[in-house]
Structure 1
């Protein structure tokens, strides 16, 4: 199995967006995804044997980076690719001068929360009733990484 990371462009967004809609219960809109290709953003897609398996979108403002989205296709989940993608994001954020990284995760996304904790992200706050769900709303857990 060969793993590779490549930045994606507007030409790749349709394929990236298919993963977003397959993996997320409440995906970001296509227009928001397009807006995340501006100057302050950076991204990468992860490929397994030349097959698109996932992606992330990050931004950087001064010395802080935010992980806007990270997503693995359902058919590739559970193979450690999320960890590799997150590690790639952290490396790219550091290269761009980040001193800290921030993210939000749904309270119900236990696997992602555990992954972030295992990679030295710390819970710092919550946004109460932030994310929509099928039955109402759930909290967003705000996490930070400052181990550069």
Structure 2
């Protein structure tokens, strides 16, 4: 069964944080997700039988959007859901008037960087020592694409 894409307003931010904690070492907390909801960020999800398989968080200002976070449940990784989620949210953002989408990604996350490059994102900057990692800190790669 192919998952359904839709925008949503999370009512269980602890669930989002728990899903992300299984996907990466330095994820957002439930409090950070609650703050994101309060700020009016947009949530995009892939659901199969009402079960959340992956989600993304974006914010939009005028004709620009930023991908703040994207998470695919580890049991569903490697099946093209990240690509599908990006494709769907890009179409949703473009339909709402966004013309460009920005993001940042860990320099060491080759899988994500490849996904983004495959979706038309190009590197446009770097933040030195931005993310915590087990042996100190790592750079953030800034990327953007036109919608």
Same fold (TM over 0.5): yes
Q: TM-score, normalised by structure 2?
A: 0.93
Task: Return the offset for 1:2.
Answer: 2.5
Q: SS at 2:53's partner residue?
A: strand
What is aligned with 1:144? 144
Task: Return the offset for 1:51.
Answer: 2.6
Inter-CA distance 52–10: structure 2 relative to 1 (3 Å threshold): closer
Task: Return the offset for 1:99.
Answer: 1.2
What is aligned with 2:70? 70
Task: Return the offset for 1:59.
Answer: 0.4
Task: Return the offset for 1:63.
Answer: 1.0
Equivalent pairs counted in the alignment come to 147
Inter-CA distance 51–10: structure 2 relative to 1 (3 Å threshold): closer
Aligned runs of 1:8-87 on 2, under 5 Å? 8-38=8-38, 40-87=40-87
Task: Return the offset for 1:8.
Answer: 2.9
Structure 2 unpaired stretches of 5+: none
Structure 1 unpaired stretches of 5+: none
What is aligned with 1:107? 107
Counterparts of 2:75 and 2:68 in 1: how far apart (Å)? 22
Q: Tell me how large the CA RMSD over aligned residues is.
A: 1.4
Task: Return the offset for 1:103.
Answer: 0.2
